[in-house]
Structure 1
Amino acid sequence: MMKSLAQSVFFSTLITLIDPIDCFQIPFLYKSSSSDAFQLQHAVHVGPFHQKRIRLRRDFNHHDRQQIDLLSQLADGQASYSTTLNLKTKFDTIWSHDKNLQKWKIAQKQQILIDRNLKNLQNLTQIFISNNLTTKSQLDWKQSSVEMPDSTDIQTLANLAKMTNDAYTLPGRNRWYDPDGLWNLSDSFGWENDGIRGHIFAKPDNSTIVIAIKGTSAGVLGNGGPTSAHDKLNDNLFFSCCCARVSWSWSPVCDCYNGANKCRSTCVENALLDKSVYFPAAVDLFNDVATMYPHSQIWLVGHSLGAALAGLMGATFGVPTIGFEAPGDLLPARRLHLPLPPGASFGKGQEKSSVIHVYHTADPIAMGTCNGALSTCSVAGYALETRCHIGQSIVF
């Protein structure tokens, strides 16, 4: 008992909740309301933006989970962690809406129109004020008490991080299928190279679902896995100041550079929406899971690029989110003009979201210091120039 208490006190001195202005400790001796087991249920793959978006699913039954758990105990196993993980939970009040995708798309288009016109004070008319109110009411934001992961519990954070691992596979037994019957996978060579993938964990009664989004398959000279090239494209779109146009020697990912350290902001915003295969895919992935589980509470977790995508989804759909080691996601959130609850704004933790980022001070990507000509990120071709995160941060 004393050892457990000592560990809690020790960790409470290590982890702080960081606000751009204030800094205060999380009370790690807080007692959670309950602890629940979450099992791996599905893997969902949402393909690229071109043509008709491919949506694939792979279901895991009890026998699959037993095999993966057995492999996880082997030193050279294909899976790294158990398929059943315990999470402590608590109830808290958050802002959320009904998560209707069509309403959200309308609200985002309205928000883009409002934000772009508000840049010019001459266009600040009653029409745009009216549109702003319409945007807020369109999504029917409301405060409600929901069950969410207890971010003050170390083991819960560790188990959520394990969920973001992408090694929940069985060699030689993919068993992917298309629920809509639109694709013949044998004719869709290369689909694994595109899009994003999420593992879905659920309580036994499916009352709560966790979507764990895969992160960047980083690599130098093509050694980062099948999705590495597309991950780099999206990283450079999301987290660079201007299309990864760091210097004349770089190949920019969009044509928005305007010379002399200038960048056409509207051009970059359009590139994020039109060229980024991952943000629209993440929205579709979230919508697919919400459709599969219409009566379930949804949580989001992710690692690296997956954590940033989870944070963007969590802020705009109003769901509990915990991301691990994400690059700064505040800049892409602003550029995407994500609809927020009434009275909320981006920056200084004012998004009224339940998004929490977890990272440590030795991580240059999350800290925003992995830039410069000689940095490992730059050498690998990643222009990660953002630093600030949305929501709150737990920093080791």
Structure 2
Amino acid sequence: MFKYLLILLIINIFYWYRPNEVVEEVHVIQKEEYDGFKIKHIFHHGSGKNHNIHRRLDLTPEYIKKTGLDEVDSTKYHHIDTNQQGFVNIDAMNSDYDWPSSVKGNPWTMNLPYKYKKGSIKRLTERHTPDFIDSYLDYAMSVKGNPQIMNRITLDWEDEEVLLPDVNDKETLVTLALMSSNAYVKYPIDDDGKKASDWYDIGEPWVPDKNHSDVEFGWGEDGIRGHVFVNEKDKIIVVAIKGTSGAAIPGGGDEETTNNDRINDNLLFSCCCARVSYMWKTVCDCYEKAYTCNQDCLEKELMRKDRYYQSTLEIYRNVTEIYNTKDYEVWVTGHSLGGSLGSLLGRTYGLPVVAFEAPGEMLATKRLHLPQPPGYPKYMEHIYHIGNTADPIFMGVCNGVSSTCNAAGYAMETACHTGKLCVYDVVTDKGWSVNVLNHRIHTVIDEIIMVYNDTAQCVEQPPCRDCFNWRYVVHDDDENDEPFLPNPLKPHKSKTKEEITTTSSSVSSKPSSIETGTISSETSEPSEPPKKQKCLKRTWYGWCSEWGEDPDV
């Protein structure tokens, strides 16, 4: 008997004593102290020719009650996926709203539960200094992200202890997926309850034309939306970015945003401006010849003010004007295009991101030259991509002549993601076939996350490269000259081409002493030694912008 007790004791010691295991502290919200996320604001940022329009709608309790949003029946948002013959009913799918049938509740008043864990993120110290990020991105693009030059900039990074979404908790994943789904939800009330005066102008004043319907602003108007959820107890903000609207890329209805959604999809996720064949209409003029693309042109297109990346940055900046980042944590989520934009935003500002079924955004991350802490492992960026193996858009296989994406005019050619991948293998586990309908956010919630007992394991993506068969070229002003790369720590006087030519000709006109086999005895007239220079003014990133004589020498 004693022998068996001793064996049992040894087993328990080995079971409980795990010296090499890292235990993360996970905060479990008790029912009596529960205070979940509630939607508080909707930001709409215009795009294309209306990219200066930026407005905000505050969903206060008074507004919700006044407009009747508190009485909305959530069943109104459920999709009808099949008709009586069992075939997919595309018209019904696009006329309804993308809300999971397994979740009961009002999208405008729901109190969404969550769990968080504590961790650290390394991010730029000056990221919220006005114009800092814009200046960094402009400079990185001007030097083409050359690491040798970028290393000259002494950027300040800091490790911050933050609250992170617990992606291993099913309830938390459902909550974040519901937020992503909420970004597609349209306004359900009648025209009398919707007034343009309820929206606040953030950018330039918005003046609709006489043919424009005020009641559709923020939903039907061209641009992107950010739905903002707030938890005041733990001081956490979640920004959910809306994804693509369109019949062929399921997720939202057929809205006015469809055209610009497709343009930004094709710009972010294609190899070269959606140049699939000569029959395609490209979204930019960077294509040069067969499998050759202008890299500078691509980068400038992504950074344009009327593209979605810049609009996403603006939404974040305006959210943080309301909620001070010293007091609130900010998380980002989104589905499809919204998830990829959220990932780009997270890399830019160092924010935790949970993206659902997002196309591969690693290529866009490189083209934008987004900041990354030197030597910092990617898995510590806390960017998580939730997807399933039956979604061709997430897996990067929705391309080719016979694909649904190709038929609808989407050039989805990227498959590589940043951060970690959390993939549900529904093809192996459930026998699903690869179909673009498995891309829908409510399918992910109803038939994947809610059905699996455990959440998908999050792992780093194996080495991955997009568009390997393309050649990307750059064109400097004078490709025969070496680029001017000034040393930021020393004064430098640049020479003009005339000076360089004159110097070269004068040198070449005289035979060298080595060539003649003699040592020249000529000496130049003595001159005063140059006075020591001192930096009088520096830019935000440490480069000297003005040099002068040191008065102390």
TM-score range, shorter chain: 0.7 to 0.9
Distance 1:304 1:141 in 2: 30
The aligned counterpart of 2:433 is: none
The aligned counterpart of 2:74 is: 73
Q: Is the 8 A contact 2:127 2:349 kept in 1?
A: yes
Q: Say yes or no: does 1:164 pair with 2:158.
A: no
Q: Is the 8 A contact 1:328 1:388 kept in 2?
A: yes
Displacement after TM superposition at 1:194 (Å)? 2.0
| 1:184-263 paired onto structure 2 within 5 Å | 184-187=206-209, 189=212, 192-205=220-233, 207-220=235-248, 224-263=254-293
Residue 137 of structure 2 aligns with an amino acid whose one-letter code is Q
User: CA separation of 1:155/1:117 partners in 2, compared to 1, >3 Å: closer, same or farther?
Assistant: closer
Alignment counterpart, residue 115 of structure 2, candidates 88, 110, 135: 88
Displacement after TM superposition at 1:111 (Å)? 2.0
Of the two structures, which has the highest relative contact order with CA contacts closer than 8 Å and spacing of 6 or more?
1
Displacement after TM superposition at 1:351 (Å)? 7.2
Per-residue displacement from partner, 1:324-348 (whole Å, max 9, x unpaired)?
Answer: 000000001111111122334xxxx
SS at 1:86's partner residue? Answer: coil
SS at 1:328's partner residue? Answer: coil
The aligned counterpart of 1:336 is: 368
The aligned counterpart of 1:155 is: 171
The aligned counterpart of 1:18 is: none
Alignment counterpart, residue 131 of structure 2, candidates 99, 102, 107: 102
Displacement after TM superposition at 1:71 (Å)? 1.9
Displacement after TM superposition at 1:51 (Å)? 6.5
Q: Is the 8 A contact 2:303 2:368 kept in 1?
A: yes
Residue 389 of structure 1 aligns with an amino acid whose one-letter code is H
Q: What count of residue pairs does the alignment treat as equivalent?
A: 352
User: CA separation of 1:180/1:331 partners in 2, compared to 1, >3 Å: closer, same or farther?
Assistant: closer
The aligned counterpart of 2:151 is: 132
Displacement after TM superposition at 1:283 (Å)? 0.6
Q: Say yes or no: does 1:48 pair with 2:43.
A: no
SS at 1:196's partner residue? Answer: strand
SS at 2:226's partner residue? Answer: strand
User: CA separation of 1:52/1:250 partners in 2, compared to 1, >3 Å: closer, same or farther?
Assistant: closer
Alignment counterpart, residue 398 of structure 2, candidates 367, 370, 388: 370
Residue 383 of structure 1 aligns with an amino acid whose one-letter code is A
Q: Is the 8 A contact 1:357 1:392 kept in 2?
A: yes
Q: Is the 8 A contact 1:85 1:159 kept in 2?
A: yes
The aligned counterpart of 1:384 is: 412
Per-residue displacement from partner, 1:90-112 (whole Å, max 9, x unpaired)?
Answer: 11111123532511111212222
User: CA separation of 1:359/1:69 partners in 2, compared to 1, >3 Å: closer, same or farther?
Assistant: farther
SS at 1:389's partner residue? Answer: coil
User: Mind listing any 5+ residue stretches in structure 2 that lack a counterpart?
Assistant: 1-20, 30-34, 79-95, 100-105, 425-553
Distance 2:75 2:145 in 1: 55
How large is the Cα RMSD of the aligned pairs?
Answer: 2.8
User: CA separation of 1:226/1:50 partners in 2, compared to 1, >3 Å: closer, same or farther?
Assistant: closer
The aligned counterpart of 1:61 is: 60
Q: Is the 8 A contact 1:68 1:168 kept in 2?
A: no
Per-residue displacement from partner, 1:111-146 (whole Å, max 9, x unpaired)?
Answer: 22343556xxxxx5xxx2xx4342x51xx3211111
User: CA separation of 1:384/1:322 partners in 2, compared to 1, >3 Å: closer, same or farther?
Assistant: same
The aligned counterpart of 1:19 is: none
Alignment counterpart, residue 318 of structure 1, candidates 350, 374, 377: 350
SS at 2:393's partner residue? Answer: helix
The aligned counterpart of 2:468 is: none
Distance 1:213 1:223 in 2: 16
Residue 208 of structure 1 aligns with an amino acid whose one-letter code is I
Distance 1:182 1:258 in 2: 37
Aligned residues with identical type, % of pairs: 35
Per-residue displacement from partner, 1:26-58 (whole Å, max 9, x unpaired)?
Answer: x9x987313350111010111125477111111
Distance 1:290 1:181 in 2: 15
Q: Is the 8 A contact 1:49 1:280 kept in 2?
A: no
Q: Which moved more, 1:259-268 or 1:45-54?
A: 45-54
User: CA separation of 1:195/1:358 partners in 2, compared to 1, >3 Å: closer, same or farther?
Assistant: same
Distance 1:52 1:383 in 2: 24
Q: Is the 8 A contact 1:245 1:252 kept in 2?
A: yes
User: Mind listing any 5+ residue stretches in structure 1 that lack a counterpart?
Assistant: 1-26, 119-123
Distance 1:58 1:50 in 2: 22
TM-score (normalizing by structure 2): 0.59
Q: Which moved more, 1:282-291 or 1:99-108?
A: 99-108
Distance 1:63 1:51 in 2: 30
Displacement after TM superposition at 1:311 (Å)? 0.2
SS at 1:198's partner residue? Answer: strand
Q: Is the 8 A contact 2:51 2:305 kept in 1?
A: no
Distance 1:366 1:181 in 2: 34
The aligned counterpart of 2:494 is: none
User: CA separation of 1:219/1:276 partners in 2, compared to 1, >3 Å: closer, same or farther?
Assistant: farther
Residue 162 of structure 2 aligns with an amino acid whose one-letter code is V
User: CA separation of 1:76/1:285 partners in 2, compared to 1, >3 Å: closer, same or farther?
Assistant: closer
